[in-house]
Amino acid sequence: MNPDRLELYRWFIAVTERASPVARLREMERVVREKLAPALRDPVVREHVSGFHLWKRNAEEGEAAGAAGVGVDLFAAADADPPSDPVLASHLQETGAVGGRGVLGEAAVILHPIAAEYRRGLTDISEVALDLHVAPQLDFRAHQCALIDAACSSADPRFQLQTYLTEHSAAYLRLARPEPEVEGELWSWAQEELWSRLYTPGPGRGLLAPIYSLWNIVLGTVPRRWTDRTELAARLGIDCG
């Protein structure tokens, strides 16, 4: 595949607009767990894409205009077989998913070579978020509470997240410590490069640093300055004890 010539394929699964914001969040969680996670982890699908970005949109959370639901952007080489073929479609049957090729206007910068590291960061964080999202229900709620705690902490959340993700995400461990672990060594160059990538915004307007997608995918809410753990958990309908 030619990494310098990419296409973007976007699939979107809308959820019931008439439901309450919390009910929409629960429905989006089910869609990710039951529909999108199996599709994104299918080796045949992955063979046709060079990266992906999973995202949620809940209109009442201040997102851009549009239906509430779950979307996935697939980055594929322009000369590759389209990832919208029946292999992917078979995972999305009866979900009401809509998809197609193309990205318009300023957003097209995400496909340029200059955005290669940004696309890699979006893929990395989507992989990590999927690990948390597909966990058994009780574990998933614990992951959500851990992310709420990290988001509302007065300290830089990356230090709290490093320890947590090392314990709970195989994708994070693979990305952050690909080399054999040295006893007593808590850091690696790969981990430093990963976090630099996750905290670097994209080259175009509105392309937020990939790290924010961790909260968007797992919690379903937009990045903002959070301080009150109890209030945030209640607003998201999550019981963090």
* 122-170 per-position pLDDT tens digit: 999 999 999 999 999 999 999 999 999 999 987 788 889 999 999 999 9
Q: Count the neighbouring beta carbons within 10 Å of the beta carbon of residue 93.
A: 10
Model confidence pLDDT, tens digit, residues 5-49: 788 888 899 988 777 889 999 999 999 999 899 888 988 888 888
Q: Could you say which of 102, 123, 150 is where a domain stops? A: 102
Residue 97's pLDDT is what? Answer: 77
**Distance between CA 144 and CA 137 in Å, rounded?**
11
Q: Confidence class of residue 236 from pLDDT cuts 50, 70 and 90? A: very high
Q: Based on the fold, state whether residues 46 and 1 are members of the same structural domain.
A: yes
**Distance between CA 190 and CA 175 in Å, rounded?**
7
Residue 2's pLDDT is what? Answer: 46
> Given a cut of 70, is residue 93 above it in pLDDT?
no
Q: Based on the fold, state whether residues 187 and 87 are members of the same structural domain.
A: no
**H-type alpha helices, the chain:** 21-31, 37-40, 43-47, 86-91, 116-133, 137-152, 157-168, 170-176, 189-198, 212-219, 229-235
Model confidence pLDDT, tens digit, residues 161-203: 999 999 999 999 999 876 655 554 555 678 889 999 999 999 9
Q: Could you say which of 44, 71, 102 is where a domain stops? A: 102
**Distance between CA 94 and CA 71 in Å, rounded?**
16
Q: Based on the fold, state whether residues 151 and 239 are members of the same structural domain.
A: yes
Q: Could you say which of 102, 134, 152 is where a domain stops? A: 102
**Cα-based torsion angle of the residue sequence 179, 183, 186, 187 in order, rounded to the nearest 10 degrees:** -30
Q: Count the neighbouring beta carbons within 10 Å of the beta carbon of residue 240.
A: 16
Residue 155's pLDDT is what? Answer: 79
Residue 132's pLDDT is what? Answer: 97
Q: Confidence class of residue 62 from pLDDT cuts 50, 70 and 90? A: very low
Number of domains observed in the structure of the chain: 2
Q: Based on the fold, state whether residues 113 and 98 are members of the same structural domain.
A: no
> Tokens at residue 169, please?
């995400």
Q: Based on the fold, state whether residues 81 and 132 are members of the same structural domain.
A: no
Which of 2-6, 39-43, 108-112, 237-241 is predicted most confidently?
A: 237-241
Is pLDDT larger for residue 206 or for residue 131? 131
- Mean predicted confidence (pLDDT) in 56-66: 64
Is pLDDT larger for residue 60 or for residue 38? 38
**Distance between CA 241 and CA 108 in Å, rounded?**
43
The CATH number of residue 43's host domain is 3.30.70.100
Q: Based on the fold, state whether residues 52 and 75 are members of the same structural domain.
A: yes
Q: Based on the fold, state whether residues 56 and 170 are members of the same structural domain.
A: no
Q: Based on the fold, state whether residues 133 and 175 are members of the same structural domain.
A: yes
Q: Based on the fold, state whether residues 36 and 131 are members of the same structural domain.
A: no
Domain extent at residue 90: 1-102
Residue 63's pLDDT is what? Answer: 47
Residue 187's pLDDT is what? Answer: 58
Q: Based on the fold, state whether residues 94 and 114 are members of the same structural domain.
A: no
- Strand 6-14 and strand 69-77: pairing? antiparallel
**If you search the block for the tokens 């693979």, which residue do you land on?**
174
Q: Based on the fold, state whether residues 190 and 209 are members of the same structural domain.
A: yes
Q: Based on the fold, state whether residues 128 and 241 are members of the same structural domain.
A: yes
Least confident of 22-36, 51-65, 75-89, 200-214: 75-89
Is pLDDT larger for residue 225 or for residue 33? 33
Residue 1's pLDDT is what? Answer: 40
